[in-house]
Amino acid sequence: MSSICPICKKPTVFEYRPFCSKRCADIDLARWFRGDYKIPGEEEEKEEENTEEE
């Protein structure tokens, strides 16, 4: 079973699945940190529990 690297569309390498190389894995990770990826249906609702006043 082979798949395609989501970053550069090359065949993936087992060692770096689901990417083709560490470089692409790093790119994907960087996108994550920049917030390019957003999970649909999951709005930001964390650490806002004590918003209500007394």
Question: Which residues make up the interface to Zn ion (CB under 5 A)?
Answer: 5, 7-8, 10, 20, 24
Q: Smaller CB distance to Zn ion: residue 9 or 34?
A: 9
32 within 8 A of 23, measured Cβ to Cβ: no
Q: Between 10 and 31, whose beta carbon lies closer to Zn ion?
A: 10
35 in the Ramachandran plot: left (φ > 0), alpha (ψ -120 to 50) or beta? left
Residue that the structure tokens 């079973």 belong to: 1
Give the nearest distance from C-beta 1 to Zn ion in angstroms. Answer: 17
Closest separation in Å from C-beta 39 to Zn ion: 23
